[in-house]
Amino acid sequence: MENSDRTSQPGAEPRSAGGKPAQGLESVENALSLLLLLRAQGRVRLSEAADELGVARSTAHRLLSTLRGRGFAVQGADKVYRPGPTLYRLGMSQRSEYDLVETARPHLLWLNSRLGETVHLAVRAGAEARILHSIEGTHALRVGSRAGVSLPAHLSAGGKALLADLGVSELADIYGTRHAAQADTDPETLHRTLATVRRRGYAVNIGGTERGISAVGAAVREPGGRAVAAMIVSAPSLRFTRARLGDAAAVLGEAVRRMEAAL
pTM: 0.67
**Higher pLDDT, residue 256 or 96:** 256
Instruction: Give the model's pLDDT for residue 103.
Output: 94
Q: What is the pLDDT of residues 22-79, one digit of tens each?
A: 556 888 899 999 988 887 777 789 999 999 999 999 999 999 999 989 888 888 777 8
Q: Helix %, strand %, coil % for the chain, to 5?
A: 45, 20, 35
Q: Are 205 and 157 contacting, i.e. CB atoms less than 8 angstroms apart?
A: yes
Distance CA 68, CA 85 (A): 10
Please list, residue by residue across 19-47, b when 16 or more beta carbons sit within 10 angstroms of its beta carbon and e when fewer do: eeeeeeeebeebbeebbebbbebbebebe
216 bridge partner residues = 204, 233
10: pLDDT strictly greater than 70:
no
Task: Report how far residue 5's alpha carbon sits from residue 19's, in angstroms, rounded to the nearest whole number.
Answer: 17
Q: Tell me, what's the pLDDT at 13?
A: 46
Q: What is the pLDDT of residue 140?
A: 96
> Domains of the chain by range and CATH?
23-87 (1.10.10.10), 97-262 (3.30.450.40)
Mind listing the pLDDT tens digit for each residue in 179-213? Answer: 555 778 999 999 999 999 999 999 999 999 999 99
